[in-house]
Amino acid sequence: MAASPAATSRNVTFGQEDLTLCDNKVITSHYTPATFIPKNLMEQFSKPANLYFLLLTVLQMTPKVTTTGQIPTIALPLVCIILMSALKDALEDWRRHKSDREENERKVLVVEGSGPSATLKERKWCNLRVGSMVVVRQNEYVPADMVLLTSADEEGHVYIETANLDGETNLKTKAAPNAAFEIVGEHENRDEAAKKASAVPCTCECELPNEFLYTFAGNITANPSGGQQKISLDEQHMVLRGCKIKNVSWSLGVVVYTGRETKIMMNSKERKGRKLSHLEREVGRLTLLIFGIQTVLCLIAAISSAIFETSEENLNKMYLNLTDKDGNSQNAFLVLVIRFFNFIILFSNFIPISLLVSMSLAKLAQVFFFYADDDMVYKGIHCMPRTSDLNEELGQIEYVFSDKTGTLTCNVMDFRKFCVRGVNYGQGMTEIKRQVMMKMGKAVEEPPPPVPGAKRTPHVDLVDERIDAVLRNKSDPHHADVREFLFHLAVNHEVVPEFDEDCVMSGYSASSPDEAALCYGAKHFGFSFMGRDSSGISVQVDEKDTIKVQILATIKFNSTRKRSSVIAKFTETCAITGAAKERMVLYTKGADSVIMARLRPDQQNTAETRQSLDTLREFAEDGLRTLCLASRDLTKDGTDVDAWLSRWNEASLATQNRERKMDAIAEELEVNLVMNGITGIEDRLQDEVSDTIIKMTQAGIKVWMLTGDKTETAINIGVATGLLEAEAGKKGERPMFSSADFEMDGDFNQEEMSKKLRQVAEKARIAYNQKKMFEGLVIDGKCLELALEPENEKDFVAICRNCSTVVCCRVSPKQKGAVVRLIKAEEKAITLAIGDGANDCNMIMSADVGIGIRGLEGLQAFNVSDYGISQFRFLQYILLVHGRWCYRRIAILANYMFYKNFVVVLPQYFLGAVSGFSGQKLYNDILYQSYNVFFTFIPIMVFAILDQDVSKKASLKYPMLYTAGRDRIYMNFKVSLGWIASGVWHAAVVFFVPYMVMSNGNITHSDGKANDIWMVGSVVFLLVCIVTNLTVLLETCYLNRIVALGFFLSALLWACGQGYLSGVHGTVVTSELYGSTSRLFGCPMIYLVILTSTAMSLMYDIHVKGLQCSFFPTVLHQVQARVLTDKAL
C-alpha cells in the first residue's frame, strides 16, 4: 500500500508489487528526442549575449533599418555558435541516455508466484516495483534498495562492495535479520529459498524514501505458522542500489525503494547552477559597459544623422536625395530611430559574438594539459579536471582551506603506541614529531633498530621489548590489564576479514583505516580476530585457543555519541589458575572527552588516570590519532542486561526517532566505566607537504587547516607542515581559543569567550593598521561555534584577516563549510577548499574552487569537486603553474576580444563622422562577419592555450609570480580601459592614414582612377587584421612553430577570403569587391600605407611596454630578467 501524503512511513507487502509507487526506471538525461530542440533553444536564448545577437538578426531583416539588404549576415556566426553549444549538449546527453539504457536494461532474477509454485525469472531492472522479491547473484549489482531475507551464506551474511556509492572498495558486511533468517531458513539452493520466502506472509513498515545512505529504520511483521512476529530492521539489513554482491553465490531480498526514490538517486541531485569564475563575472560587467558605450555612440551618431538629414542647408542639396518625390523632408524623430538601429547593426561587433565560445574552447583545451602533466601523476592517477569553467580561478586563489587526514597526511594508519595503566608502550619518534624537532633546531633521536627475527604485521610499527615481557610473565602486575586491552581491540570493531582463493585469511577490511590498524595491532600481539557470524565473533589467542565471543548488542559510533560499544559474552580461562568463567562485558572506545566523563567516580582522578591523560597529550603532541578504551564488567556489578536488552530491542523497532531513542537507552549503560588504555595511531605526512605550503605562503596565499583532531595534534601538524612556527610568538602573536580555558564547573562560559574574542579582535585591528601580522590563530570547535554567531563573526573575521594562517581543531563538517562561506562573504576573497572525505564535501562545495583528493576515504570529496588530484603536493602545480598561466591567458584573451572589436568597429564610426553618419558601410559584410571567426581567431587561441610567460620550473622557483592573479593585474577596470584606449588609437590610425592618402581625390594608382569606398575599406580591413594579430604577438612570451603557424594560417585565410570575394577565381560573389585584390597589391603606395599605419599603431604599445619594463617593472619582468641572466650564465 502506498503512503498517503501525510504518511510518515511506508508499508510494503512482500511479493505484492505496488503499482501506485514509481517504477525502477532511472532517468539522468536532460533531454528527450522530442524536447531537445525547443528546450535547448530556450536555454541557449536565455543567455543575454545570444538574445542580443538574435535581436540584431531580426533588425538586419527589417526594411528601412537594415544595412545588409535584409540579408541576416550575423545569422551565420550565431547559428554556428548555437549549433556548437547544442552539439556539445547533445553529446553529453547522449552519453547519459546510453548510460541510462544500459542501467535500465540490466536483468535480475525475480520471484514470481508464491509457495511451492514460486519460480525465478529474469526481468529488466526498469520493470521492478516496490514489493518485488529478487535474487541477486555473486558479482551482480543490486537493482534497487532492498531488505535482505537470506543468502547462500550459512549465517545469512552478504559481503558488498560500495564503490558506486562512496568509492570505497573494501568489503562491508550486511546480514539478514536473525529472526527473518530463521523463518526463511538456510538453503543452499536459491530456488528453494525463493519458495520458502514467498510462502510466509510478511509486511514491512519502513521510513519514507530519503537521501541518508547510512541510516534505515523499519520492522517486519511476519506471520509464520507459529503466529505473528515483529522483527527490527536497521541499515545493517539493507543493501542499496549500486552495491555489488561479493563472496556469496546469491542473496534474496525484498525491494522497498525503487528508481528515483532509491538512496543513491536521491543523492544524485545536480547542484544548483554552475560555479562562475570571478573573471567571467568581470567580463559580464565589462560587456555591459561596452554595450553602454555602444548605445551612447549609436545615439550620438543617430542624432547627428537626423540633424544632417533634416537641416535646411542639406535639404537644398538635391544630390543628397534627402527628400521624397514631392520634396518633403523626413520626420526627424523617425530618422533618429531608423538611424539608431542602423548604427546598432553597424556597430554590433562592439560586443564580440565569439567571446564566450572562444573562452570556453580555450579553457576546454587547457584542461588537457592539466591531465597530461606527468608531474601530477601518482600511482597511475592523473589530475582529473571535472570542469573547465574555473581554470583561471585557480590563478587567483587567496585562501586555501585544507583538511588534515588524507589531505596533508597519507591516511595510511599504523598502530604506533599505546598506554595501559599509565605505562606508555612504543619506542621511537613519529615522523611529525621529528619534523617539529628539526624546525626547532633540536636533536632528533635515531629510530630504534628492528629486533632481529621480530614479528612483522601490516599497519603495525610498534617496537618495545617490554610488551612481550609483560605478556609472557603471568605474574607481572600489568599482565592481565595489557591482555584485557588487546582483547578489547580484537572485539570492539566492525572489521571484516578478507580471504584469498585458498580460503586463507589475507588481511582485514574496514570502513575506517583506524579500526583496521587497531585490529592488526591486536593480532600482532597474539589476539587475532578470525571472523564473525550472526551470533558474534571468533578471537584466536596466542595462535592456539579460539574464544567464541557472543555479541549481544552493538552500539554504533555516530558524530553525536563519538564512541562505539559492544556487549560481549564469552567464557574466559584464567591465565594463572586455568579456571573457566563466563563474563559479560561492555567494551567502549571513543574520544577522550567522552570516555573520561563516563569513568567510574573512583577512577576519574587517580594517579593512573592523570598519568594516562598526560600520555594522551604526549601522543597528541607526537601527531598521533588517539582513542580511549574503557569497559564495564556487567557480570560483576550485577547489571540486569536482559532488561536493558529488552528496552534496547524495543527502541530498535521504532520507525520514528529510532536513533535518538537508541542513544538514550545506550546512555544508561555506558557509565561507571574502567579505563582499559589509550591507543596512538600514526598517520604520516604526505611527500612535499611542507614545501608546498611554504611556496603557497610565499605566493601570498593564506593556508588554513580545518581538522577534527585535538588541538595539540593540530598544532604539531601545523609546525611540521610549516603553517606555524616551532616557537609561538616568534613571528608575531598566536591567539589561541581553547574551550578548556573557558570551562567552569563543567560548563562552557560563553561570556568570557566572547569577551576575549572582542579583545583580541580590537588588538588585531590595531595591528592590521600598523601592518603587524599575527603568526596565526588556533581555535577549537566549541569556541568556533560561538565565533561564527552573527554577533561575533565580525570580530572573528577581523582576527583572521590579520593572521598568516588559522588552525581550526575539533570542527564538524558543517563548521568547515560555514568558515569558508564566511570568509567568502566578508573578505570578498577567492577561496579554494581541498579534502578527501565525505566530511569535506560541505567546504569543497562552499568554496569558489573545490579540490578533491582521490584517497582512501572513498570518492565522496572527489565526486563533488571541480578538480581531482591524488596528492596534496600537486596543489603547487595546479595553482602556481597551470592556474597562473590560465589566469593570464584568459584575462588577456577577454580583453583582447573587446580590443580587436573596437579596432574593427570604430573605423566605421569614423567614416560616419566624415560622411554625415549616413549609415554607409566600410567593409564587405562577408569579410566583416568572418573577422572574429577566421581572420583573428587562430593566433589568440594559440596564445590562450599554449603561451607561457615563464617556464614551469621558474613558476615553482619564484612563487611570488602568483601575486599577479591575487592582485588582478591582468583583468581590472584600469587594465581593460587601457586595452580599449589602445583599440581606439589603433582604429584611428588604421582608418585615417588610408583615408587621408586614398580619399578626397588623391590618386594612388598609375591608371589615374580614383579609389572607391570599398577599396579604402579593403585596405582598412587588411590593416585591422595585421595590427590586431601583431598585438597578440606583442603579448606572446612563448614563441614557437605553432605560434608561427597560427599567424600564417590567419594571413592565408584573409588572402583566400579577399581573393575569392574579389573574383580572383573568375566567380563574382559580390560586386563590391570585384577586382579589388589586384588593385590592392598592384599599387606601391598601398604597401607604404600598410607599413606606415602598422608602425604608427604599434608604436604606442611598444613604447608603453618598454617604459613599464624599464622604469616600473612588475614581478614578472624581474623574474624574466633573472631567468635570462641564469641562462646566460
Q: Assess contact for 540 and 437: CB atoms under 8 A.
A: no
Determine how β-strand 536-541 pairs with β-strand 545-555: antiparallel
Catalytic residue among 403, 592, 622, 949: 403
Determine how β-strand 384-385 pairs with β-strand 250-257: unpaired
Q: What is the C-alpha separation between 593 and 616, in angstroms, rounded?
A: 11
Instruction: Name the one residue in this structure whose C-alpha cell is 534497487.
Output: 144
Q: Assess contact for 676 and 581: CB atoms under 8 A.
A: no
Q: Residue 680: beta bridge partners?
A: 417, 626
Q: Assess contact for 529 and 497: CB atoms under 8 A.
A: yes
What are the contacts of 602-605 at 24+ separation with CB within 8 A?
Answer: 603/673, 603/674, 603/675
Burial string for 53-92 (b: 16+ CB within 10 Å, else e) reads bbebbebbeeeebbbbeeebbbbebbeebbeebbeebbee
The single-letter code of the amino acid at 497 is P
**C-alpha to C-alpha distances, 795 to 395, 707, 780, 972, nearest whole angstrom:** 29, 22, 16, 30
Rounded to a whole number of angstroms, the distance between the first and last alpha carbons of the chain is 84
CB proximity list for 810: less than 8 A, separation 6 or greater: 707, 708, 709, 710, 711, 780, 781, 782
* DSSP assignment of 233-289: EEGGGEE-TT-EEESSSEEEEEEEE-GGGSHHHHT-PPPSS----HHHHHHHHHHHH
Q: Is the dihedral of CA 951, 952, 956, 962 positive or negative?
A: positive
Report the chain's C-alpha Rg in angstroms.
38
Nearest partner of 159 among 495, 547, 504, 513, judged by Cα: 495
Q: Cell triple for residue 210?
A: 530519503
CB proximity list for 119: less than 8 A, separation 6 or greater: 111, 112, 113, 191, 194
Nearest partner of 400 among 7, 668, 692, judged by Cα: 692
Number of H helices, E strands in the chain: 39, 35
Give the burial class of 343: count Cβ atoms within 10 A of its Cβ; 0-12 exposed, 13-18 middle, 19 or more buried.
Answer: buried
Burial string for 169-181 (b: 16+ CB within 10 Å, else e) reads ebbbbbbbbeebb
Would you call 403 a catalytic residue per the annotation?
yes
Q: What is the C-alpha separation between 1005 and 806, in angstroms, rounded?
A: 74
Determine how β-strand 849-853 pairs with β-strand 867-869: parallel
Give backbone dihedrals phi and psi of 1112, rounded to 5 degrees, phi first: -130, 60
Q: Could you tell me where the DSSP H helices lie in 915-936?
A: 925-930
Nearest partner of 233 among 313, 178, 183, judged by Cα: 178
Nearest partner of 703 among 718, 685, 684, judged by Cα: 718
- How large is the greatest C-alpha to C-alpha distance in the chain, in angstroms? 131
Q: Cell triple for residue 736?
A: 589561541
CB proximity list for 797: less than 8 A, separation 6 or greater: 822, 823, 826, 827
Run of H or E including 748: strand 747-748
The residues assigned a catalytic role are 403
